[in-house]
Amino acid sequence: MVERENLHLNFSFLGEIDENQTVDISRKIDLIGTKLKRFEVEVGGLLPIPSENYIRVLALDVIDNTGRMTSLFEEIKRSVGGDSKPPHITLCRVKSIQSKNDVREKIRDENTGHGRFILESVQLIKSELNRSGPTYSVIHDAKFV
């Protein structure tokens, strides 16, 4: 499970990057941040990634009622790159499931909204996986205007 303080909205997975790439990516997300104002994001139901038949991650879906998040996602994908997934909030990584049918049913039952929050920056986050789970640290924070 991802600890509450480590929950974050994912736009792109960059994999291993070196120091030069970190500087370049930070500059790019700063440029993105200067074009945006804070906006509200709605959190939807459970989202199995990559699919209900092969669950490796359980996440919360993020609903884009205004189109602003889609624009941000497209800009990050175009400018920064990486393995772009639809925006989501990772809850946990899944190693194995004993009853896939029970999990699929729970996912369908939990398909209601889980609240809202204000998106006010884009961050470059380092994720280090270890036995006890991921450790996250913010490398760069590009605040919206």
Which of 6, 7, 8, 123 does the annotation list as catalytic? 8
Q: What is the pLDDT of residue 131?
A: 82
Report how many domains make up the chain. 1
pLDDT tens string 126-138: 988 888 777 888 9
Is residue 8 annotated as part of the catalytic site, yes or no?
yes
Predicted local distance difference test score (pLDDT) of residue 87: 84
The domain of 125 spans 4-143
CATH of the domain at 12: 3.90.1140.10
User: Which pLDDT value is given to residue 139?
Assistant: 94
Using CB atoms within 10 Å of the CB of residue 95, give its burial: 0 to 12 exposed, 13 to 18 middle, 19+ buried.
exposed
Active site residue 88: yes
Asked if residue 51 has pLDDT above 90, the reply is no
Q: Which residue out of 11, 88, 89, 124 is catalytically annotated? A: 88
